[in-house]
């Protein structure tokens, strides 16, 4: 299993009004942390299926963050504040998810793992 490399897309950085580059640096640090945790999960896994399960956990966290940032946008607009940072962070999460789904060996296992989790959750919900 190869290590996974993630990056902050140029269009996300370009959307930031931050002239000092502080927000872009924060994004870069965040992506480096996510990448390190994912690669550690790969290194600790016995096989690709186990690695995909651990990466699926990271994907679920990123999806939660994406939804949270998306919810901030109308709230910030309602308060008369610019939602540009919330939009940029939301777009970053979406870009990272896309990058993960473009990893060849991971895609098949992720689809299986995510489908398994959906079925398992559905069965659990139906049994109660």
Give residue for tokens 């290590």.
3
Domain locations in the chain as residue ranges = 10-127
In angstroms, the CA 76 to CA 86 distance is 9
Judged against a pLDDT cut of 60, whether residue 125 lies above it is answered with: no
- Averaged pLDDT for residues 55-70: 94
Closest among 117, 100, 119 to 2, alpha carbons compared: 100
Gap between the Cα atoms of 65 and 42, Å rounded: 22
pLDDT per residue as tens digits for the range 5-41: 999 999 999 999 877 879 999 999 999 999 999 999 9
Q: What is the mean pLDDT of residues 75-90?
A: 92
b/e per residue 46-79 (b: at least 16 CB within 10 A): eeeebbbbbbbebbeebeebbeebbebeeebeee
């Amino acid at each position: 299993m190869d290590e996974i490399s993630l990056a902050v897309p140029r269009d996300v950085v370009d959307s930031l009004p931050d002239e000092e580059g502080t927000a872009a640096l924060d994004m870069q640090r965040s992506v480096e942390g996510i990448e390190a945790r994912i690669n550690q999960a790969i290194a600790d896994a016995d096989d690709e299926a186990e690695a995909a399960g651990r990466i699926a956990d990271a994907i679920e966290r990123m999806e939660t963050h994406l939804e949270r940032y998306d919810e901030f946008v109308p709230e910030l607009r309602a308060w008369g504040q610019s939602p540009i940072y919330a939009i940029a962070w939301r777009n970053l999460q979406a870009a990272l998810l896309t990058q993960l789904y473009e990893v060849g060996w991971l895609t098949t296992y992720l689809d299986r793992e995510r489908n398994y989790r959906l079925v398992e959750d559905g069965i659990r919900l139906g049994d109660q």
